[in-house]
Amino acid sequence: MQTKITKTQIDRMTAGQILADKEVKGFVARKLDSGAVTYGYRYRDKTTGKQRWLGLGLHGSITADKARDLAKKAAGEVANKQDPVGELQEARAEAKRERLAEINTVNAVLDAFEKDHVEGLRSGDQVKQAFTNHVRPRIGDKSIYDLKRSDITTMLNEVKEGTGPVMADRVLAHVRKAFNWQMTQDDEFKSPIVRGMAKTKPKERARKRILADDEIRDIWKALDQWKDGPACYPRFVKSLLLAMTRRNESARLHTEELEGDLWTIPASRYKNKRDHVIPITSALRELLGDKPDGCKQNSWFVFSTTKKDGKPDGAKPFSGFSKAKKDLNKLIAKIRKAEGRPPMKQWQLHDLRRTGRSLMSRAKVDADHAERCMGHVIGGVRETYDRYEYLEEKRKAFDALAAMVEMILNPPADNVVQFSGERK
Q: Per-residue pLDDT for the chain (424 aa), expressed as one digit of tens each?
A: 688 999 999 999 999 999 999 889 899 999 998 899 999 998 887 777 788 888 899 999 899 999 999 999 888 888 777 777 777 777 776 776 666 656 689 999 999 999 998 887 877 888 998 999 999 999 999 999 889 999 999 999 999 988 888 889 999 999 999 999 999 998 889 999 999 999 987 665 556 889 999 999 999 999 999 998 999 999 999 999 999 999 999 999 999 999 999 999 999 888 888 899 999 999 999 999 999 999 988 999 999 999 999 999 999 999 889 899 999 999 999 999 999 999 999 999 999 999 999 999 999 999 999 999 999 877 654 444 567 789 999 999 999 999 999 999 999 876 544 444 444 3
CA-CA distance, 349 to 206, in Å (whole number)? 15
Return the pLDDT at 336.
97
Instruction: List Cα–Cα distances, 180 to 117, 187, 191, in angstroms.
Output: 12, 12, 7
Please say whether the beta carbons of 192 and 151 come within 8 A.
Answer: yes
Please say whether the beta carbons of 354 and 210 come within 8 A.
Answer: yes
Question: What pTM did the predictor assign?
Answer: 0.59
Q: Residue 57 gets which letter from DSSP?
A: E
Length of the chain: 424
CATH 3.30.160.390 fits 2-98, yes or no: yes
Please say whether the beta carbons of 244 and 357 come within 8 A.
Answer: yes
DSSP-assigned states of every residue in 72-116: HHHHHHHHTT--HHHHHHHHHHHHHHHHHHHH-BHHHHHHHHIII
- Computed on alpha carbons and rounded to an integer, the radius of gyration of the chain in Å comes to 35
> What SS3 state is found at 375?
coil
Alpha helices (H) in 243-320, listed in sequence order: 247-251, 282-288
CA-CA distance, 10 to 165, in Å (whole number)? 73
Categorise residue 361: left if φ over 0, alpha if ψ from -120 to 50, beta otherwise: alpha
Neighbour-count burial for 32-43, b at 16+ CB within 10 Å, e otherwise: eeeeebbbbbbb
> What SS3 state is found at 135?
helix
Return the pLDDT at 380.
54
CATH match for 213-409 among 3.30.300.30, 3.40.1080.20, 1.10.443.10, 1.10.10.10: 1.10.443.10
Return the pLDDT at 416.
46
CA-CA distance, 284 to 238, in Å (whole number)? 9
* Residue 156: exposure state from Cβ atoms within 10 A (0-12, 13-18, ≥19): buried
Neighbour-count burial for 248-284, b at 16+ CB within 10 Å, e otherwise: bbbbbbebebbeeeebbbeeeebeeeebbbbbbbebb
Domain 104-202 top-level CATH class: mainly alpha
- Considering the chain, tell me which residue range(s) the CATH 1.10.443.10 domain(s) occupy: 213-409
Q: Give the number of C-alpha atoms closer than 13 A to the C-alpha of residue 53, restricted to the C-beta side.
A: 8
CA-CA distance, 75 to 69, in Å (whole number)? 10
Helix axis angle for 165-183 and 149-163, nearest 10°, is 150
| Pairing mode of beta strands 27-31, 18-21 | antiparallel
- Considering the chain, tell me which residue range(s) the CATH 3.30.160.390 domain(s) occupy: 2-98
> What SS3 state is found at 209?
coil
CA-CA distance, 253 to 262, in Å (whole number)? 12
- Considering the chain, tell me which residue range(s) the CATH 1.10.150.130 domain(s) occupy: 104-202
CA-CA distance, 138 to 158, in Å (whole number)? 9
